[in-house]
Amino acid sequence: MSSPGRLRDGEAAGWSTTPHAWVAWWAAALVVIFFLASASVWLAPPQSSVAAWWPASGVAVALALWTRRDRLPLTVLGIAVVTTLANVWGGRSWETAVGFGVANACEVVVVAWFYRGASAPPGFSRLPDLGRLVLAAAAGAGAAAVVAGVTVAGLDPSAFVTMRAVFASHAAAILIIVPMTMAHPPARGHAPRQELVVQSVVLALVVGAVFGTKGELPLAFAPMPVLVWGAARFGVRIAAAQLLLSGVAMSLLTTAGRGPFPFAVERLDYPPETVGTLLQAVLVASALVSLPVALLTDELAASLTRARTSAETLEGVMEAATQTAIITTDLVGNVTSFNAGAENLLGWTAADVVGHATPAWWHDADQLDLRSAEAGLEPGLRVLVEPLEGGSASDRRDWVWRTRAGEELIVSLRVSPRHDAEGRRIGWLGIAEDVTRNRRAEQVLRSALDREREAGQRLVELDRAKTDFIASVSHELRTPMTSVIGNLEMLLDDSLGATTPAQRLALQRTDRNARRLLMMLEELLLLSRVEDGTFDLRVRRTDLVEIVEQALHTLDVARGRSGVDVELHAPGEQVELDADAEQVERAVMNLVSNALKFTPAGGRVDIRVRDEGATVSVSVGDTGVGIAPEDVDRLFDRFYRAPSAVREAVPGTGLGLSIVRAIAERHHGSVTVDSRPGEGSTFTLRLPATQGDESTPA
């Protein structure tokens, strides 16, 4: 059995595809174990209670490691049965055969325990994998030896010899056979095929020469250097295969009475079991020497491949980065590599600078000196790496470079240390990108933003000056306008003498316009107080219904002149709130006056007062011309008049709704509008029923 690579548990060799396929593989493996065990019994040395070699042990362990965990009990039972039958067929008694069958089963259970939770088959690619296999083989062979010793204790007084022979033969079988069945890393070409052929021929000649003749005992280890040669040059796959083949050859020749061990045991009058013990000791030693070398060879080859791949990848990246400069230096700043991007950026070639230059060639000297002085360092290149000497992984800053042609560039340079395999710092790596265009664009943008900020500040100052001017002018005009209106009232009352009907008509028109002008001045002053934060409320507990009624009474003349039907819908009881009654009345008057202006004669205005618990509201709905959707968001801006109002020559200043919003917000309330062109509009003033402590009490 050979493994094509690491597979999921139970999927090896297709065993888990269908139950029938798994049973076929399982049965075939048990047949192999049966014949190997039978052959080992038949070829056991004369007068020996154990076989000189026991490859069935290695195959049994391999079968267990390739078996899914839930099927392992059935596999252990099958191994116990076939090894028992093999011992009986080989001529041993049922008592001895059952004992050896149990020994094989115990061995498999112990080794499987070491690999609990591992995939099937487990991997064999690193030294820890070999250590795990050695421990498992020793524990499993030890368990088999103990059970075998107990089995023969009543038949042979030298039970210890049996235990020693069983331990050696089983441990050797596991170490030689099982690595061949484990998952190996991909094969890598460590040496030419011709060398493999030569080494294999030499190994065959050495094994044949030593174990095919009556060799001397010290020559038993002669194949070991050849096995190590193969392990060092060809890796774990070849090493495991050669170890298995040479072990089989040595075992067959030794069982046939050839090689150094049978003659040495006969000459020294040792028990016949000693032949197998010595043979398996040599095999175990060969495995423990060649397999580590093979694993280290594979690991070294894999490391070299990764290093070569990384180097090729790095070289490819450096050459592909045609717009990015990648430069490496040693610790003192001598350039050691200079990629195509650096050549394109600076105009020098790698041949010009590698080994001949430092970054001082292209760094602006004045900037280096300035930053060295800022960092308190001697002028020079040390300022480039000074931030990294405290342990930082990298440092990124903008620097000024000068090309070979003298052109000035601004680059974003990231500097980081370079280390060798032992972690020692060996130099510096710089990666730079040309950001000249970006930085200049950023400078232009910053300048534009600064100019815009200055312009905005000037606009704020102009707006403040305008507000102050309006407030000042309004204040100065209010006093003479009050005097004008007072004199007009005396003229209309005939206090200064009787007037003719024509004079009275002229005086009445003048009085109306004067009052309109005074109201405009009051509104401008109010907005000025809102903007400069001096708009205080005289809050008291008041009745909203009464406020609305007073506003309607003030607008009696305008209502009568408009020809619009105005109706108030209010609760029968008071709707109380904390508010400045005068300002709320002004807001209601502005809403109603606005509705009257934009509602044709014969139309209707409905005013609804509601008590909503925590808030109270006044809604003014009309059946007028309505408001276009694009004008709704600007209705509450100062001096804004909708195009329809301008087109229809509706009188107004555009201040009324902005004053309503200011009064609402000062009361912590709001004003909203719902309008459809041609169907009318509804303005809703919503105020809290109670005010906090921010308002000025009456």
Regarding whether 278 and 241 lie in a shared domain, the answer is yes
| pLDDT score at 393 | 78
Residue 671: strand pairing partners: 685
Mean pLDDT of 168-194: 76
Are 620 and 607 in contact by the 8 Å Cβ rule? The answer is yes
| pLDDT score at 697 | 39
Please provide the DSSP assignment of 537-585 as one string.
Answer: -EEEEEEHHHHHHHHHHHTHHHHHHHT-EEEEE--SS--EEEE-HHHHH
Regarding whether 454 and 419 lie in a shared domain, the answer is no
Regarding whether 392 and 446 lie in a shared domain, the answer is no
Residue 285: strand pairing partners: none
Mean pLDDT of 268-275: 67
| pLDDT score at 451 | 84
Q: Which of 41, 267, 42, 261 is nearest to 166 (CA)?
A: 41
Q: How far apart are CA 549 and CA 349, in angstroms?
A: 92
| pLDDT score at 114 | 87
Does the pLDDT of residue 473 top 70, yes or no? no
Regarding whether 428 and 345 lie in a shared domain, the answer is yes
Regarding whether 282 and 191 lie in a shared domain, the answer is yes
Q: 603 lies in a domain?
A: yes
Residues with Cβ within 8 Å of 108's Cβ and at least 6 positions away in sequence, in order, are: 60, 61, 64, 75, 76, 79, 140
Regarding whether 4 and 137 lie in a shared domain, the answer is yes
Q: 525 lies in a domain?
A: no
Judged by average pLDDT, the poorest of 8-22, 355-369, 542-556, 601-615 is 8-22
Q: 293 lies in a domain?
A: yes
Does the pLDDT of residue 362 top 50, yes or no? yes
Show which of 299, 320, 341 is a domain's final residue.
Answer: 320
Q: 528 lies in a domain?
A: no
| pLDDT score at 379 | 77
Q: How far apart are CA 538 and CA 580, in angstroms?
A: 5
Are 298 and 185 in contact by the 8 Å Cβ rule? The answer is yes
Mean pLDDT for the chain overall: 78
Does the pLDDT of residue 6 top 50, yes or no? no
Angle between helices 55-65 and 94-114 (to 10 degrees): 40
Q: How far apart are CA 64 and CA 29, in angstroms?
A: 10
Mean pLDDT of 159-167: 76
| pLDDT score at 688 | 92
Mean pLDDT of 666-674: 88
Q: Which of 245, 272, 262, 173 is nearest to 211 (CA)?
A: 262
Regarding whether 219 and 165 lie in a shared domain, the answer is no
Mean pLDDT of 546-571: 84
- Tens of pLDDT, residue by residue over 54-80, are 788 888 888 888 888 888 888 888 888
Regarding whether 682 and 571 lie in a shared domain, the answer is yes
Q: How confident is the model at residue 272 (pLDDT cuts 50, 70, 90)?
A: low
Return the percentage of the chain with pLDDT > 90, whole number. Answer: 2
Q: How confident is the model at residue 570 (pLDDT cuts 50, 70, 90)?
A: confident
Does the pLDDT of residue 462 top 80, yes or no? no
Q: 526 lies in a domain?
A: no
Mean pLDDT of 453-474: 68
Does the pLDDT of residue 640 top 80, yes or no? no
Regarding whether 422 and 447 lie in a shared domain, the answer is no
| pLDDT score at 3 | 37
Judged by average pLDDT, the poorest of 91-105, 147-161, 458-472, 539-553 is 458-472
Q: Tell me, what CATH number does 158's domain have?
A: 1.10.1760
Residue 607: strand pairing partners: 568, 620
Please state, in angstroms and as integers, the Cα–Cα distance from residue 357 to each residue in 107, 327, 330, 365, 418, following that order.
Answer: 69, 11, 11, 15, 18
Mean pLDDT of 31-40: 79
| pLDDT score at 646 | 45
Q: 491 lies in a domain?
A: yes
Q: What is the total count of domains within the chain?
A: 5
Does the pLDDT of residue 605 top 70, yes or no? yes
- Tens of pLDDT, residue by residue over 306-357, are 777 766 666 666 666 667 888 889 888 899 888 888 888 888 988 888 888 8
Q: Tell me, what CATH number does 639's domain have?
A: 3.30.565.10
Return the percentage of the chain with pLDDT > 70, whole number. Answer: 78
Q: 524 lies in a domain?
A: no
Regarding whether 159 and 24 lie in a shared domain, the answer is yes
Residue 610: strand pairing partners: 617
- Tens of pLDDT, residue by residue over 199-236, are 889 988 988 888 887 767 777 888 888 888 888 888 88
Show which of 385, 409, 434 is a domain's final residue.
Answer: 434
Regarding whether 118 and 96 lie in a shared domain, the answer is yes
Q: Which two tokens stand for residue 510?
A: 């003048």
* 3-class state of residue 673 by DSSP: strand
Provide the residue range defining the domain that includes 267.
187-320
Regarding whether 359 and 248 lie in a shared domain, the answer is no
pTM of the model: 0.47
Q: How confident is the model at residue 11 (pLDDT cuts 50, 70, 90)?
A: very low
Q: 299 lies in a domain?
A: yes
Q: How confident is the model at residue 16 (pLDDT cuts 50, 70, 90)?
A: very low
Show which of 300, 320, 340 is a domain's final residue.
Answer: 320
